[in-house]
Amino acid sequence: MGIQRGHQAHPVEWLAEKGIFLISLTAILMVFLIFAFVTREAVPLLLGQMNSAARQAVIPAADMDKTPPEQLRAYLGLTSDQFAAMDHDTKQLLMEAKVDAGKEASDDKDAAVNTTGWRYLFEPYQWTGYDRPAYIWQPVSTIKKYNLVPLIVGSIKATLVALLFAVPLSLGAAIYVSQLARPRVKEVIKPTIELLSGIPSVVVGFFALIVMATVLQRLLGYESRLNAFVAGIALGFAIIPVVFSIAEDSLTSVPRSYTQAALALGASRWQAAWQVVLPAAIPGVFAAVVLGFGRAMGETMIVLLASGNASILSWNLLDSARTITATIAAEMGEVVEGGAHYRILFLIGAMLFVVTFFSNMLAALVMDRLKKRLEGKT
Amino acid sequence: MPDISLPKIVPTEQKTGEPAGRQPLITVDQLSLYYGASKALKNISLSLGERVVTAFIGPSGCGKSTLLRCLNRMNDLIDNVRIEGAVKIGGHDIYSPEVDVIELRKRVGMVFQKSNPFPKSIFENVAYGLRLHGVKNKSTLETAVEESLRNAALWDEVKDRLHASALGLSGGQQQRLCIARAIAIKPEIILMDEPASALDPIATARVEELILELKKDFTIVIVTHNMQQAARISDYTAFFYIGELVEFDGTTKIFTNPARKQTEDYVTGRFG
Amino acid sequence: MSAPATIDFRSKVFRYGSFFFTGLTGAATYLILAILAVILVNVVLHGWPGLSWRFVSTIPKKDIFDPATTGILPMIVGTSIRVILMTNFVVPVGVITAVYLTEYAPNTSWLTQIIRAAVNNLAGVPSVVFGLFGLGFFINFVGKNLDWVLHNGQKAWGQPSLIWASLTLAVMTLPVVIVATEEALKAVPPGLREASLALGATKLETILKIVLPQALPGILTGGILAVSRAAGEVAPILFTGVAYYMSSLPTHLTDQFMDLGYHVFVLSTQSPNIDRTQPILYATVLVLLILTFALNIVAILIRSNMRRKMRSLH
């Protein structure tokens, strides 16, 4: 198929074409690299190679030189730089300290538990000192607890509030701007709403923390000033531009002939919009919501500033909450490289990536089908 | 014979069949073209002579533009196109693998239906092709540009504003600019795809006059849906119908005494 | 002959549905605009008094919370440098990718679909995941290996720094540039490409001499939007290079840097006395907002101007 082109005559051109092609593979490469390298740090955890038990097998100080360096480093809880910088004697001292600590080690029944096991990540467990099984995320403690459920619930709570707040508003505005407003008005309003996306999320979070939290607490009188509700509303601000612009585009790309047919039959503008255009654009609206969901789940600074950051498991929207993203952002600076905590953070990062990846694919698929359907008809 | 009133018939010597004493410049040999599975051109064979104007006429969708675009391989730009047969220009098959299509397009120029001047100055538009082919010297460019604009009958109108934007010209002027741009690189053949169809009658007349002048130096193939235009300016006419060449002959013969009934029906307006 | 029956078109019924529905959706629209206005007005009102030339040109001492001595010069410089560095990476790659997608890629090829899907997906990756990517790939892999090759294991590149933060941001904003450039390329009338090719130009020549120059405003818009987006992002730079405090301005690619957005975060959450800090917090927010907003508005203006010109060309 196709006519053979005389490449021999223009080698530079041919070379440039190949170069252009290779460079455009960057996008694919990047997606792959992101997944690969974020997961890479979580792999030892996934393979069950990490042991975060409080009471670890103690290596006798005399055996220090028999221990492989990497294992020794992990045992002593040092980063590679610290380990490399430390001299033999200091390491020996640390080994002896560990032996002593082992003798005094907690008699806590949970001290021997490897808290990075899947069971502890997702299922409730009755830790010492608690009167019933609970989902606890408490990485900084003698017994390190890494249950992910409070974080997942926190993210979902905030996202839910965001969607409940933003979707009706955005959809309403999209219908108004696309179907009901005069063209001149539309030309001003549309870019202005999209200007909302020009506000950095840290500014929205700041606004929620400093202004909104106080106002909302005074209005509604709940206990925690910073909670999933406040964070959710602020998240809503952030996703309104996304949901609005996709919904509006979908509504506008419904062929005018549908609207005109309805109007010619005596429908009012809103009847035409509600009964004819909106149903036709439903896939686009759906995609907009899905993308809004993905955006809200992935947002970091707003929840970091406004959600209260208490990693308790509660479905009450007015309780302080901790999301997956805020956890990664807040705790990554404190972890030991290569340790269990470090790897868990990468793990939840990878999980987040997978969730948003699939929600993106879903939205893209739906939009694609909508586009094909409309093009087939146009 | 039905009455055919044509405003003006080019008075030339009686031309029938092959051009007497001149070598054919373009030879199309059993050419078929497929868009995917559908056959758009069916076994076309004809020979076009040097420095004459040949017109391709026929109803919409008959393949005349497609055939025109085969002559400078602009159809290469479309996905899914397949060619059988050969097109020979100056004896060389232009679809053979050794042919450098860039070279080909230097020698076979094209003017399009909708004028498409670049959003640059008038001067830069005409100079574009020259610069492409290595002309850098400022005075050479200036001389060449002036010559082309004169030959395109545009010089007097634009000589004072050579560096103004080409988009500021009227539709007819833009089309003549496109012609100037095409002839600046001195191709042997100029292909014109309905060059006047978007122009008003006065601009059309000027373009037609121009073509008659140009044929002294260039071989011209023009696609037109306007039969009277074909009758006015062409020496030879080829009539196409749904991908097939129905009849090819001297213009006068086609319009006064066509050999095929189909041709007669078309030129008398029975269908179209 | 009887008089013709008159048809009365005056509306007899007040269309409640219409009024209600239009009112509701209109209210939604104006509510959104109101939110935007409230945020902006609040920031400007409280931030404006705190702004001063001294404020934006001073490097703060260790106590960044002291309104009397603090300044945000290093943050402005840090934000600007990382964003400029990022542009150098993202614009060429983004434009070339968009050129491939628009001018060369066969539409039916599965590879083309995959590239587009990848661009789409990049756009949806959470910003904190980009931060993890920067840490996991650029710092822990590329940086470490560079150190191994160049410095025999000593740490130079394998730590958070300007270069890695900028590269991470470049990956993050790649879709923005690609989409804007594609839009601009598609707006160039195909007739221009045909004219150029018919004159014997190669495809590359046509792209370089005719298509890209025409598409320049759109490409510019894409770059500006990328810059505006990257300037405001904090999560990707948290682990890849931003510092809580630096006593001097960054000078090397391996330096860490301070940042406006991060500073807002720090002032908001770690100030010992929030009331005392509030004025400088607001002022910092205002500066950040001026930066990102101004860029956004410029991009929008260029784009609408471009669209108006396009309409007259056809």
Residue listed under structure tokens 């209109």: C26
b (16+ CB within 10 A) / e for C211-240: bbebbebbbbbbbbbbbbbbbbbbbbbbbb
What is the model's pLDDT at position B7?
32
Question: What are the structure tokens assigned to A198, written together?
Answer: 């020009």
Q: How far is CA C111 from the centre of its chain?
A: 28
Whole-number Å distance between alpha carbons of A128 and A107: 10
The helix (run of H) or strand (run of E) holding residue B236 is strand B236-241
**Which residues have a Cβ under 8 Å from the Cβ of B38 and sit 6 or more positions away?**
none
**B99 → closest Cβ in A2, A6, A10:** A6
pLDDT recorded at residue B162: 92
CB contact (8 A) between residue A6 and residue B95 = no
Residues B203-238 have pLDDT tens digits of 899 899 999 999 898 999 999 988 889 999 999 999
Task: Look at B74 and C192 and tell me if their CB atoms are within 8 Å.
Answer: no
Tell me the Cα Rg of chain B: 19
Residues within 8 A of B (CB atoms), C 216-245 only: none
Question: What sign has the CA pseudo-torsion A81, A82, A85, A86?
Answer: negative
Structure tokens at B47: 């020979």
Q: Kindly list the partner chains of chain C, i.e. chains with 3 or more CB atom pairs below 8 Å.
A: A, B
Q: How far apart are CA A53 and CA A160, in angstroms?
A: 35
Instruction: Tell me the ipTM for this assembly.
Output: 0.89
**pLDDT grade for B5, boundaries at 50, 70 and 90:** very low
What span, in angstroms and rounded, lies between the C-alpha atoms of C36 and C43?
11
Residues B238/B248, Cβ–Cβ less than 8 Å: yes
Predicted TM-score of the model (pTM): 0.85
Three-class secondary structure of residue B135 per DSSP: coil
Task: Give the nearest partner residue to A3 out of B76, B102, B103, using CB atoms.
Answer: B76
Name beta bridge partners: B27.
B47, B88
Measured on CA atoms in the order A297, A302, A308, A311, is the torsion positive or negative? positive
Q: Which residues of C50-63 are buried (b: 16+ CB within 10 A; e: fewer)?
A: bbeeebeeebbeee
pLDDT at B1 over 50: no
Q: Quick check: C97 and A27 CB within 8 A?
A: yes
φ/ψ (deg, to 5) at C252: -115, 160
Question: Does the distance separating the beta carbons of B81 and A6 come in below 8 Å?
Answer: no
DSSP B5: -
**Amino acid occupying residue B235:** D
In 3D, which of A123, A156, A118 has the Cα closest to residue A352?
A156
**Series of mean pLDDT values for 10-residue runs along chain C (314 residues):** 59 68 88 93 91 85 80 91 94 96 88 92 94 94 89 82 95 94 92 93 93 92 92 93 88 91 92 87 93 87 78 58
Tokens of residue B68, six digits? 């025109």
- Judge whether residue A1 has pLDDT over 50: no
CA B207-B163-B124 angle, to 5 degrees, is 70
Alpha carbons C221 and A243: distance in angstroms, whole number: 22
Distances (CA, A) of A335 to A25, A48, A77, A120, A139: 35, 19, 11, 20, 10
In 3D space, the residue among C284, C31, C176, C231 whose CA is nearest the CA of residue A237 turns out to be C31
- Residue B16 has a pLDDT of 39
Which domains does chain C possess? 37-313 (1.10.3720.10)
pLDDT digits (tens, 9 = 90+) for B132-177: 888 889 999 999 999 999 999 899 999 999 999 998 999 899 999 9
Q: A9, B80: Cβ pair inside 8 Å?
A: no
Q: What would the mean pLDDT of A71-75 be, rounded to a whole number?
A: 73
d(CA A5, CA A156): 56
C194 neighbourhood in chain B, CB within 8 Å? 74, 77, 112, 116
How many CB contacts within 8 angstroms connect chain A with chain B? 26
CA distance linking residue A374 with residue A285, whole number of Å: 14
**Residue B15 pLDDT level (bands cut at 50, 70, 90):** very low
Q: Which ranges in A253-314 belong to alpha helices (H)?
A: 256-264, 269-272, 278-298, 301-306
Which of A239, A294, A367 has its CA nearest to residue C117?
A: A367
Would you report the helix, strand and coil content of chain C in percent, each value rounded to 5? 75, 0, 25
Provide the residue range defining the domain that includes B91: 24-115+184-267
Better-scored residue on pLDDT, B110 or A54: B110
Degrees, nearest 5: CA angle C269-C273-C278: 70
Residue C24 burial (C-beta neighbours within 10 Å; 0-12, 13-18, 19+): middle
> Distance (Å, rounded) from C-alpha C20 to C-alpha B144?
70
Nearest Cα residue to C128 out of A39, A330, A341: A330
Residue A144: count of CB within 10 angstroms of its CB: 21
Enumerate the domain spans of chain A.
9-36, 109-147, 149-377
Q: Nearest-CA distance from A365 to chain C in Å?
A: 10
Residue B80 lies in a domain: yes
pLDDT digits (tens, 9 = 90+) for A86-128: 788 888 887 787 777 666 666 667 777 777 788 888 888 888 7
Q: Which of residues 153-212 of C touch B (CB under 8 A)?
A: 189, 191-192, 194-202, 205, 209-210
- Is position B174 within any domain? no
Which residue among C108, C192, C197 sits closest to B105, beta carbon to beta carbon?
A: C197
Cβ pairs bridging A and C (under 8 Å):
261
Rounded distance between C-alpha atoms, residue A307 and residue C148, angstroms: 42
A5 → chain B, closest CA residue = B97
Q: Which of B124, B132, B175 to mutate to test the interface with C (most CBs of C within 10 A)?
A: B132
- Percent of chain A exceeding pLDDT 70 equals 92
Query: Residue type at C171?
Result: V
- The shortest C-alpha distance from B117 to chain C (Å) reads 7
Q: A123: number of CA atoms within 13 Å, CB side?
A: 5
- The model's confidence at residue A335, banded by pLDDT at 50, 70 and 90, is confident
- Helix/strand/coil (H, E, C) string of C246-258? CCCCCCCCCCCEC
Cα separation of B21 and B156, whole Å? 38
pLDDT score of C312: 61
| Side chain identity, residue C104 | Y
Asked, for residue B7, whether it belongs to a domain, the answer is no
Q: Do residue C100 and residue A23 have CB atoms under 8 angstroms apart?
A: yes
Report if residue B122 sits inside a domain.
no
Identify the sign of the CA torsion C114, C116, C122, C124.
negative
Helices (H), chain A: 11-23, 26-46, 69-76, 80-85, 88-103, 118-122, 149-175, 183-195, 201-207, 213-220, 228-252, 256-264, 269-272, 278-298, 301-306, 324-331, 340-377
Residue entry with tokens 């991060």? C262
How many CB atoms sit inside 10 A of residue B270's CB?
11
pLDDT of residue C5: 59
Give the pLDDT score at A378. 46
Residue B171 falls inside a structural domain = no
Single-letter code of the amino acid located at C57: S
Question: Least CA distance to A298: which residue of chain C?
Answer: C126
Q: What average pLDDT does range A366-370 have in this prediction? A: 86
Torsion angle, CA of B96/B97/B98/B99, rounded to 10 degrees? 60
Q: Count structural domains, chain B.
A: 1
Dist. CA B263–CA B149, nearest whole Å: 38
Q: Domain A149-377 carries which CATH code?
A: 1.10.3720.10
> What's the number of CA atoms in the CB half-sphere (13 Å) around residue B63?
23
Contact (CB<8Å) A172/C97? no
Instruction: Place B36 in a pLDDT band, splitting at 50, 70 and 90.
Output: confident
Where residue B209 sits, what CATH number does that domain have? 3.40.50.300
Alpha-carbon distance of B50 to C6, in angstroms, equals 74
d(C-alpha A153, C-alpha A161), whole Å: 12
Give the three-class secondary structure for B45. Answer: strand
Least Cα separation, residue C235 to chain A (angstroms) = 7
Distance CA B120, CA B123 (A): 8
CA distances from residue A97 to A92, A94, A102, A114 in whole angstroms, order as listed? 9, 5, 8, 22
pLDDT of residue B11: 33
pLDDT in tens, B75-132: 888 878 999 999 998 888 899 888 888 888 988 999 999 899 998 899 999 999 999 8
